[in-house]
Amino acid sequence: MLIGDILLAQNLVTSEDIKIALHRQKENGGRLGENLVALGALTQEQLDRAIYEAPRAPKTIEDTGIPSGNLLRILLKLMYANTLETASELSAAIKLPIGVVNRLIQEAGDRKFLESLGNADQSTFSETRYVMTEAGKRFAIEALEQNQYVGPAPVSLTDYQARINQQKITNERVEQEKIEKSFENLIITDDFVRRLGPGVNAGKSILLYGPPGNGKTTVAEKVAEIFANVIYVPYCFEVDGQIVKVFDPAIHKPKFGGETDKKKNSGLRREEFDGRWVPCERPVVITGGELTLEMLDLSFNAHAKYYEAPLHVKASNGTFIIDDFGRQLVSPEDLLNRWIVPLESRIDYLKLHTGKSFSLPFDELVIFSTNLSPDDLMDPAFLRRIPYKLETVGPSREQYFEIFKMVGKARGLEISEEILDTVIEELQVNNSFDLACYQPKFIVDQIISACKYQGSDPYIDKELVVDALKNLYTSSAKGAGKTAAKSANRDQSKPAVAAI
């Protein structure tokens, strides 16, 4: 990991800044960071903070926090499985500095696990090649029988706990202007955004509830995208000799410099950052009806003999969204009982199959999204532990028209008052359905598909609208949407949300 990668990930400099600083470095010498400061690309304080926040590479085996025997097993498994021969190859695979790897190689040599084959070539920068002895191969095979994890060295449980606390989601202040900008393409009231802002900054838990199709999932996803800080996620950590994998490419998005920048920097001295940690965006985990209690506990692979971290651990320092809460395979009561302590104490307890238990900081913004009645899902004790509760309801006629016009404009259609009257009459007068924010997009998509079928340019008329609305509901559902008060007469202070 280069200092340029870190600064780019933090959005403190641009690729052009790096390019200019590299040119200056060739002429004047010094470190890349020092040249960036001299050019005014960032301040010394910003540079110091970026370097301080990044995990520092261990200088010795003891600094890794992992017993040397465990590191040696991983090293030989990597060598055995990937046919690695040189210290630099092993360093890149195990994500430890050359100095630490050389110490492990020396230990392996002392135990007759490796022997030297001489230099790889006769160039000035040639490296010594190593090959495993029969004793080394047996040791690697025995290590694979203990567990089949082959990859970067783990970090210690203590280091992982400290890192989660160091990069808490509440460390990042989300300004009002940023939240407003994030929601600028939604039809949403200022009152809703004003109440949402404190919940985002509190970093605890938020309940979004209300009828379906009015933007709860959209709001939750927008909230998750607001955060900008870079965090460091370990490939895995070790507890009581067991490996627990954390980094998940499907969830964690690395924040590195581009490949072009890496090639340009390849000949530079690397700063001493710990490669066992990956700089990432704050993670976002979205789970719906598939959520089970087992997904919130360590998953032990009986064949590979190592663990996969549960979803909420992978979401540490980020956002965990439970969509369609109340419709999971696990009952709401069981799920809430599982999380009632973590939400209150901000600490979660996990257990290995050996019976060993350990704790991890529970640091994430949890968002519950449901179209069911919260009072039916949660008892008062749990509702009390969710400090922010926001309702999304159907739009008024004016809000609905605004959404309709914006969606139509994006697809090349002009929505008139006459078309709106047709929709209102068909939905509310003839069938007693409430207006919902998702309906305009549904109608426009149906009209575009009908025009494509006809082989004509997109256009809109009453017949196409009525046909589209017939796909919105079934005949048996007519009247099901009838409520005591029509959507058009709803309280204007309540939010209507729709993505454009």
| pTM listed for this prediction | 0.81
**pLDDT tens column, 122-168:** 554 678 999 999 999 999 999 999 999 999 999 999 999 999 999 99
| Pairing mode, strands 242-245 and 236-239 | antiparallel
Burial of 7-37, coded b for 16+ CB within 10 Å and e otherwise, reads bbbbebbeeebbebbbebbeeeeeebbbbbb
* Paired strand residues for 273: 56
Whole-number Å distance between alpha carbons of 109 and 72 = 11
- pLDDT exceeds 70 at position 212: yes
What confidence tens digit (pLDDT) does each residue in 385-421 have?
A: 888 999 888 888 898 899 999 999 999 999 999 999 9
Q: What does the alpha-carbon distance between residue 396 and residue 427 come to, in Å, rounded to a whole number?
A: 14
Rg of the chain, C-alpha, whole Å: 28
β-partners of residue 368 are 207, 322
Output 105 or 263, whichever has higher pLDDT: 105
CA distance 83 to 98: 18
Q: What are the pLDDT digits (tens) for 270-299?
A: 447 899 999 999 999 998 878 888 889 999
pLDDT at 483 exceeding the cut of 60: no
Q: Say how far apart CA 18 and CA 36 lie, in whole Å.
A: 7
Q: Which amino acid is at 129?
A: R
Consecutive H or E run containing 397 = helix 397-410
| CA 34, 230, 363, 353 torsion-angle sign | negative
Comparing 257 with 204, the larger pLDDT belongs to 204
Q: Give me the mean pLDDT over the 464-481 stretch.
A: 75
Nearest residue to 163 (alpha-carbon basis) of 224, 235, 234, 66: 234
pLDDT at 342 over 50: yes
pLDDT at 121: 61
User: What pLDDT score was predicted for residue 496?
Assistant: 53
pLDDT bin (cut points 50, 70, 90) of residue 179 is confident
> Helix or strand or coil: residue 483?
coil
**Looking at residue 488, what DSSP letter applies?**
G
Burial of 130 (0-12, 13-18, 19+ CB in 10 A): buried
End-to-end CA distance of the chain: 39
The predicted pLDDT at position 383 comes to 85
**Which carries the bigger pLDDT value, residue 252 or residue 53?**
252
Contact 356, 300 (CB under 8 A): no
**Rounded-to-integer distance, Cα 333 and Cα 293, Å:** 11
Mean pLDDT of 103-112: 95
